């Protein structure tokens, strides 16, 4: 007898029917091979690694050439290690449903120049599914916190040969975070400028686990060690650290400093010449801002960092969550 226990396919989000005693099955929607893991029977999928050492190193070399990285990386970079691992991720689907009421203000100016503010009442229905992913173990220094891609060939065939990180973070915490995030996003999507009343609820529809293959490349340049990670499904570089190029940096600092200085000096000269203290002040402020930006960009200039590393995590989260929503909106079960 098939019983539905509120489980979702980690690959497509579809509702899974699990027969009692069964722990390996195919998703009825997308056909992915899944297994029910642990006491709570969390649906788990693993994606096959389709990259090899050669394609991973090629991707890394291409990545070295992009941006402001040291130009002699290809000659001077020394490969230390290159290996695949399976990283666990939680994947959640959260439905937000309800109503958000409020108003929008519009200003009208009549012929006499009188301004009248009109309040236009708004009543928005909210009904959306939001899907999020988050790494389910300590990412260490890998710079990966979320999945950019959810897909690939579902298979456990590589499980024997590729080391797997156990999931260590709490399932309940992931569900709670997803609810909170989904509510925030649903409010944003409803787009009611002034909210006066709302009745929205976030319903966790499913949590599943994804084991995703990631290649880790470690290399040295001069005295220092750097790394990159490459997606085992798509072959894209996910994160990494690389030495910056000294020439690019000094050029940028010189240009930034000169432009900042010129704007400041120009504003001062022009402002004083015209007898306008305000203009001089604006010139100084703008010039100073350009200098400050230059400094901020190149303070850590000896290293180029890409990925979800500590400190950059908050920005990345915002971006990836948005992407996840666009991709998965409209998945219903
Ligand atoms: Zn599926």
| 26-61 confidence digits (pLDDT tens) | 888 888 888 877 656 688 889 999 999 999 999 999
Which is more confidently placed, 60 or 332? Answer: 60
Q: Are residues 260 and 182 in the same domain?
A: no
**Gap from CA of 148 to ligand 1 centroid (Å):** 18
Q: Are residues 149 and 287 in the same domain?
A: no
**Gap from CA of 11 to ligand 1 centroid (Å):** 5
Could you tell me the pLDDT band of residue 189, with boundaries at 50, 70 and 90?
very high
pTM: 0.74
Which is more confidently placed, 122 or 247? Answer: 122
Q: Are residues 104 and 253 in the same domain?
A: no
Q: Considering all CA atoms of the chain, what is the largest pairwise distance in Å, rounded to the nearest integer? A: 89
Q: Are residues 164 and 80 in the same domain?
A: yes
| Residue 129 main-chain phi, psi, to 5 deg | -105, 135
**Gap from CA of 4 to ligand 1 centroid (Å):** 15
**Gap from CA of 234 to ligand 1 centroid (Å):** 19
| Residue 197 main-chain phi, psi, to 5 deg | -155, 140
**Gap from CA of 13 to ligand 1 centroid (Å):** 6
**Gap from CA of 28 to ligand 1 centroid (Å):** 7
Structural domain of residue 174, as residue ranges? Answer: 49-240+306-328
Question: Residue 157 pLDDT > 90, yes or no?
Answer: no
Q: Are residues 262 and 160 in the same domain?
A: no
Beta pairing, strands 224-231 & 33-37? unpaired
Place of tokens 């108003």: 103
**Gap from CA of 173 to ligand 1 centroid (Å):** 24
Rounded-to-integer distance, Cα 147 and Cα 331, Å: 18
**Gap from CA of 135 to ligand 1 centroid (Å):** 20
User: How many domains is the chain built from?
Assistant: 2
Is 134 within the bounds of a domain?
A: yes
**Gap from CA of 261 to ligand 1 centroid (Å):** 59
**Gap from CA of 14 to ligand 1 centroid (Å):** 5
Is 262 within the bounds of a domain?
A: yes
Give the HSE-up count for residue 297: Cα atoms under 13 Å, Cβ half-sphere: 18
Is 142 within the bounds of a domain?
A: yes
**Gap from CA of 45 to ligand 1 centroid (Å):** 10
Q: According to the model, what pLDDT value does residue 14 have?
A: 80
Q: Are residues 105 and 232 in the same domain?
A: yes
């Amino acid at each position: 007898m098939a019983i539905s226990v509120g489980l979702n396919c980690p690959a497509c989000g579809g509702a899974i029917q699990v027969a009692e005693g069964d722990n390996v099955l195919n998703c009825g929607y997308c056909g992915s091979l899944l297994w029910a893991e642990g006491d709570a029977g969390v649906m788990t999928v693993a994606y096959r690694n389709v990259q090899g050492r050669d394609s991973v190193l090629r991707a890394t070399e291409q990545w070295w050439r992009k941006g402001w990285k040291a130009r002699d990386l290809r000659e001077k970079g020394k490969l230390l290690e290159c290996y695949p691992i399976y990283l666990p991720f939680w994947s959640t689907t959260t439905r937000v449903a309800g109503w958000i009421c409020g108003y929008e203000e519009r200003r009208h100016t009549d012929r006499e120049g009188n301004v009248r503010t009109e309040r236009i009442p708004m009543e928005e229905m909210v009904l959306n599914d939001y899907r999020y992913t988050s790494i389910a173990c300590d990412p260490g220094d890998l710079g990966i916190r979320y999945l950019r891609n959810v897909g690939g060939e579902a298979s456990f065939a590589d499980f024997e040969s590729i080391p797997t990180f156990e999931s260590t973070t709490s399932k309940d915490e992931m569900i709670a975070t997803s609810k909170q995030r989904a509510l925030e996003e649903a409010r944003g999507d409803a787009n009611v400028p002034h909210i006066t009343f709302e009745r929205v609820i976030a319903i966790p529809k499913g949590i599943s686990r994804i084991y995703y293959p990631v290649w880790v490349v470690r290399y040295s340049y001069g005295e220092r060690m750097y790394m990159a990670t490459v997606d085992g499904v798509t072959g894209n570089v996910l994160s990494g650290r690389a030495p910056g190029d000294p020439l690019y940096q000094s050029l940028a600092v010189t240009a930034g400093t000169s432009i900042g200085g010129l704007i400041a000096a120009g504003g001062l000269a022009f402002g004083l010449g015209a007898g306008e203290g305000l203009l001089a002040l604006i010139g100084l402020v703008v010039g100073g801002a350009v200098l400050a930006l230059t400094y901020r960009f190149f303070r850590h200039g000896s290293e180029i960092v890409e990925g979800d590393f500590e400190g950059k995590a908050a920005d990345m989260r915002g971006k990836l969550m948005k992407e996840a929503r666009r991709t998965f909106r409209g998945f219903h079960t």
